[in-house]
Amino acid sequence: MFRLLALCLLLAVGTLHAQEEEPQGPLYYTIEPDIITNYQNSGQSLGYVRVSIDLMLESADKMPLVEQHIPLLRDAINNLLAEQNRQEIRSLAVRNQIAKLGLERLNDLLLKETGDTPIRRLMFTKFLYQ
């Protein structure tokens, strides 16, 4: 009877320990709040764009690294969007290119700062322009 109880306790502790481990595979991080910036519109006027961004990270252990550098990453995305013109902002194909370019810029910045490239994908989950 005692052996059966001890075996049950060992199995329960093993199961709890397995549940405490961090999840494997990619993890998503939402940059908050949304990024709002101006872009070049026709003539002297400026347009604005508001985006929500999710980053797919390589793994859960990369989250603190990304969180620590969010001001740097937000600035890079803000600058990238401000470089675009009206036609580029409104084009879905160019928007996908902007996401790829943003991914490269963010990983380049993080590589310089930390020696790591933790971001697998950059996704615009909201993209509003005027």
Inter-CA distances, 47 with 9, 27, 59, 82, Å: 64, 33, 36, 10
pTM of the model: 0.78
List, for residues 108-128, the tens digit of each pLDDT value.
999 999 999 999 999 999 999
d(CA 51, CA 113): 25
- Token pair for 86: 């009206």
**Enclosing domain of residue 45:** 25-129
pLDDT of amino acid 18: 46
Tokens representing 88 are 């580029």
Q: Quote the pLDDT of residue 4.
A: 53
- Residue in this structure with the two tokens 């969007």, named with its chain if needed: 81
| Average pLDDT score over the chain | 86
CATH number at residue 60: 3.30.479.30
Query: Does any domain span residue 10?
Result: no
pLDDT band at 96 (very low <50, low <70, confident <90, very high): very high
Total of domains in the chain: 1
pLDDT computed for residue 20 by the predictor: 52
The pLDDT tens digits of the residues spanning 50-70 come to 999 999 999 999 999 999 999
Residue 83 covered by a domain = yes
Residue 6 inside a domain? The answer is no
Residue 63: HSE in the Cβ half-sphere, 13 Å Cα cutoff: 12
Return the pLDDT at 73. 97
Beta bridge pairs of residue 49: 37, 129
**Mean pLDDT score, 11-20:** 51
- Determine, yes or no, domain membership for 1: no
Confidence of residue 41 (pLDDT cuts 50, 70, 90): confident
In a domain? residue 87: yes
Q: What is the spatial distance between Cα 87 and Cα 111, in angstroms, rounded to a whole number?
A: 31
Domain annotation covers residue 80? yes
